[in-house]
Structure 1
Amino acid sequence: MRLKTFLYFADFVFYPLASAALVAVALLLKQPPRWDEAAVGFACGLLLWSLAEYVIHRFALHGPAYLAALHDMHHADPRALVGSPLWLSLSSICLGSLLPVWLLVGFGSACTVTAGLMLGYIYFGALHHVIHHYRLKRGSYLWRLKRRHTRHHYGKTPCNFGVVTSIWDRVFGTYCPE
């Protein structure tokens, strides 16, 4: 959905702070995770985000009519400030990561996994913003991401649902070279 400028950029402040707060909470527990457990949890969160990005984009934003219509606003005007409001992304992250991981393996691990997922989410948001709003140096990493993502927006077949990585597109057969 189209967001006001302040609300669009609020994620870029909120999520890094929330991620740091989750790590701090995990470290302040009576039995905090060891540094290696925290690092593995954080890495799992990043990996989980990359898969969630692909699944959400492919099956939700290009799936049910209501969600697809909202996402079509982005395809119609890629430079518009279109995104998820903070209340929706935060509740989705809490219900989709923090709560289930907490129930499965404990609160400390849930904090580190969710912190990684949040930073993955904000990295995605930053990359997606940059590739739609900035002129990029030809041949650079960001330029190659933009080329791949442009194929998603303007290609003849639905492909390249991942912005941060093409791994899941390659795994699930939806990758199209630039």
Structure 2
Amino acid sequence: MQLNRFLYFADYVIYPLASAGLVAVSLLKTDPLRWEQAAIGFVCGLALWSLAEYVIHRFALHGPAFLAALHDVHHTDPRALVGSPLWLSLGSIFLGSLLPIWLAIGFATACAVTAGLMMGYIYFGLLHHVVHHHHIKRGTYLWRLKRRHALHHYGKTPCNFGVVTSLWDHVFGTFRPE
């Protein structure tokens, strides 16, 4: 979905603040997590994001026609400020992460895991923005990432759905070398 500049960049302010708040809640609650438990939950959230990024991109954004049509706007103009509205992404993270983990394991753990997932989402957003909007020095990590992602956009075969990592593309057989 095409967003105005303010809404496009709002994630980079809101998500770090929300993530920090969730970590604080997990550590300060009446029955708080120890910092080691919170750190493990946070890292699990980061790992969960990498899988969620792949699944969302491959099966939702390149799947049902109505979602694929929205995502095609990005494929048509990769430099456009396209993203999901804050209410949709934040609502999805809370309903898809915080709530189910809270019900299954507990609120403090859910806060730590969701904080990690949010930071994974922001890291993805930053990397994705950089590969589409900035000149990157040849031979660097970001240059290789940009080449791999360009193959996703312009290759003949659907491939390279992961932006942050190619791990899940390797696991599910959708990796193509840049």
Q: Name the TM-score class by shorter chain.
A: over 0.9
> CA offsets per residue over residues 99-136 of structure 1, 9 Å max, x none?
00001110000000000000000000000000000000
1:27 Cα deviation after fit: 1.2
The residue type equivalent to 2:170 in the other structure is R
Q: Does structure 1 conserve the Cα–Cα contact (< 8 Å) formed by 2:45 and 2:115?
A: yes
2:111 is matched with which residue? 111
* 2:24 equivalent to 1:24: yes
- What is the TM-score when the length of structure 2 is the normalising length? 0.99
> 1:147 aligns to what?
147
The equivalences for 1:1-178 within 5 A come to 1-178=1-178
3-state DSSP class of the match of 1:43? helix
Find the residue that maps to 1:157 and give its secondary structure. coil
Count, aligned residues? 178
Q: Which runs of 5+ in 1 are unaligned?
A: none
Give the Cα separation in 1 of the matches to 2:33 and 2:24: 11
| 1:2-29, Cα deviation, whole Å (9 max, x unpaired) | 0000000000000000000001111111
Q: TM-score, normalised by structure 1?
A: 0.99
Q: Distance in 2 between matches of 1:122 and 1:109?
A: 20
Q: Distance in 1 between matches of 2:165 and 2:39?
A: 21
* SS of aligned partner of 2:9: helix
Residues 28-60 of structure 1, C-alpha deviation per residue, up to 9 Å, x if partnerless? 111111111111100110011000000000000
Instruction: Name segments (4+ residues, structure 1) moved above 3 Å.
Output: none
Cα distance in structure 2, aligned partners of 1:117 and 1:44: 8
Provide structure 2 residue ranges, at least 5 long, that are not aligned to the other structure. none
- Contact residue 27 and residue 35 of structure 2 kept, 8 A: no
The percentage of counterpart residues that share the same residue type is: 78
**What do the CA deviations read for 1:143-177 (whole angstroms, capped 9, x no partner)?**
11000000000001000000000000000000000
Deviates more, 1:73-82 or 1:22-31: 22-31
For the aligned residue pairs, the C-alpha RMSD in angstroms reads 0.4
